[in-house]
Amino acid sequence: MFATLRNKFYHSSKNKLPEPILKFIKRIYHVFFASELWCRIVMNRETEKYIKSLDYKKMRVFEMSGLGSRWETFGFASYFTIDWPEYDICEKPFKDEGFDMVIAEQVLEHVKAPREAIKNIYKMLKPGGVAVITTPFLGKIHNCPIDCSRWTETGLKYLITEGGFNFEEIKTGSWGNKACIKANFGKEWVQYIPMLHSLKNEPEFPISIWAFVKK
């Protein structure tokens, strides 16, 4: 709701106010009405930090179900995405050993055969290529079109290993707290408001899980 009001106000004022005033308004909005979901803030920061640690500008990247993704304009050498049902990651690899990176953000919980999906991610990567995987844990069911699975950090590591990756190469992380979990009990996912929402991590209550692994 806050994001919708922000966008309506900004776009209606865009051609009426001087640019310095618009910039000031945008800074104020950033404090009160961030455009990201609270449950994804830390996860997004960690995935971006990891990818920036790589030579990403030279990478050929494939993202599953990444239509409208933040990675589309990140600056990779090439970026390609395709969505379900046009492509089903459980059925076959999109291209054998064709990519330097495969990104699967908030995808695996929606597939019927996650182990097969991981196996196909493995096949799509060049030797030395990396997979970036994120999933929810203590998050409500959100069918798209179905919602099947949840994993802890440990569970995700074992799943990735079953797909062919080396257990020792897998780096995982998680974030969550009780306040964020409770806030998302409602119908809509809660937008992050820096002045109101804590990013304190309570390890026993993870809402977001992520993993980075090299082939």
- In this prediction, residue 34 has a pLDDT band, given cuts at 50, 70 and 90, of low
Q: Are 76 and 91 part of one and the same domain? A: yes
pLDDT in tens, 106-154: 999 999 999 999 999 999 999 999 999 999 999 999 998 999 999 999 9
Q: Are 29 and 99 part of one and the same domain? A: no
The SS3 assignment for 163 reads coil
| pLDDT of the residue at 90 | 95
% of the chain with per-residue pLDDT over 90: 70
pLDDT in tens, 146-163: 999 999 999 999 999 999
CB of 149 closer than 8 Å to CB of 126? no
State the CATH number of the domain containing residue 82. 3.40.50.150
Q: Are 4 and 99 part of one and the same domain? A: no
Average pLDDT over the chain, rounded to whole?
88
CB of 124 closer than 8 Å to CB of 98? yes
Phi (first) and psi of residue 79, to 5 degrees: -140, 130
- Smallest CA-to-CA distance from 154 within 172, 133, 135 is with 172
Number of structural domains (the chain) is 2
Q: Are 28 and 132 part of one and the same domain? A: no
Q: What is the mean pLDDT of residues 183-206?
A: 93
- In this prediction, residue 14 has a pLDDT band, given cuts at 50, 70 and 90, of very low
Q: Are 16 and 82 part of one and the same domain? A: no
Q: Are 105 and 6 part of one and the same domain? A: no
Please determine, for residue 18, whether its predicted confidence score (pLDDT) is greater than 60. Answer: yes
Please determine, for residue 195, whether its predicted confidence score (pLDDT) is greater than 70. Answer: yes
* Domain boundaries, position 57: 39-189+198-214
- In this prediction, residue 170 has a pLDDT band, given cuts at 50, 70 and 90, of very high
Please determine, for residue 8, whether its predicted confidence score (pLDDT) is greater than 50. Answer: no
- Smallest CA-to-CA distance from 107 within 127, 138, 79, 132 is with 132
Rounded CA-CA distance 81/163 in Å is 21
Q: Are 27 and 51 part of one and the same domain? A: no
